[in-house]
Amino acid sequence: MIDTTIRSHVDLLARARFALKGLPEPHSMAARQLLAELTAAERGMAMGGLPWPITVHVGVIEHRHGANLYAAYTRAALDRDLAGFCREYWSELPGGNEAPPSDDGAAVSAYFVRHDQDGLTCEQTTLEPPSGLWASDAPIQLERGRYCVLSTAHITVSTADLISLWSTWPPNSRPLDIAASVRGWFVPTRPPEDIYAAQLPPDLAALMAFGRDGGFDHVLLDCDGDETDGLKTHDW
């Protein structure tokens, strides 16, 4: 089953942006523009904004206790919700001992034709995305990145010793720009320069590839991090 949640779309945009950044010399005008638009779309989706206008169907039932408000993407879905109210109070209708229609629209129509107090108002409206939320030239106040947290069990003891050593070297001497944390290390997922690529142990290279495929800029290796079936585990 395809995941269609907002989070899945944010992840998809991040993976596309990260893949484009990883291409050799992605500095053409078209590439820069596409990166800017992907970044804006990722930011807008992460903030919960609508990427495009959507039409919704709204219904208001006024009754003796007040009013009920319903909203749905389709009229059929709205009728289903409205019919739930109508069937609940069907017994208040004259001759309400009879069963309500099985069709939602017919049940709603019959209820409000026969009820002498309750009223129904329905309309269709369009929700617009917030202005500027998805603009590629919208100001970015802070640079953002994405990382995932994984268990240090996904690397061997020898690899842990190696990256711990690298983290103490001067930045311009490290094969990877490793940063030590309290219980592990931040590992960048972008492949190193060719002259350093051969120095990567296979388990570390696999970990970085896993992060890239997920659209992450870094992997935080933590002794209390989660394990994933996508990588081998090692006993320490």
Residue 1 pLDDT: 46
Placement of tokens 């994405």 in the chain: 146
Residue 215 pLDDT: 80
How remote is the C-alpha of 36 from its chain's centroid?
19
Residue 128 pLDDT: 77
Tokens of 185: 């290390």
Radius of gyration of the chain (CA): 28
d(CA 46, CA 146): 12
Residue 158 pLDDT: 94
Tokens of 36: 């800017």
Tell me the three state secondary structure of residue 61. strand
d(CA 71, CA 123): 10
Q: What is the pLDDT along the chain (236 residues), one digit of tens a residue?
A: 445 566 666 676 777 777 666 666 555 666 677 777 777 776 666 665 566 778 899 999 999 889 999 999 899 999 999 999 999 999 989 876 888 999 999 999 999 999 989 999 999 998 876 665 555 554 444 556 678 899 999 999 999 999 999 988 988 888 888 888 888 899 998 888 877 888 899 999 999 999 888 888 899 999 888 899 989 999 87
Tokens of 61: 């039932």
d(CA 6, CA 51): 11
What are the residue boundaries of the structural domains of the chain, listed by start? 1-50, 54-127, 145-236
Q: What is the end-to-end Cα distance of the chain in Å, rounded?
A: 36
Residue 84 pLDDT: 96
d(CA 146, CA 176): 18
Say if residues 224 and 149 touch (Cβ distance below 8 Å).
Answer: no
d(CA 55, CA 53): 7
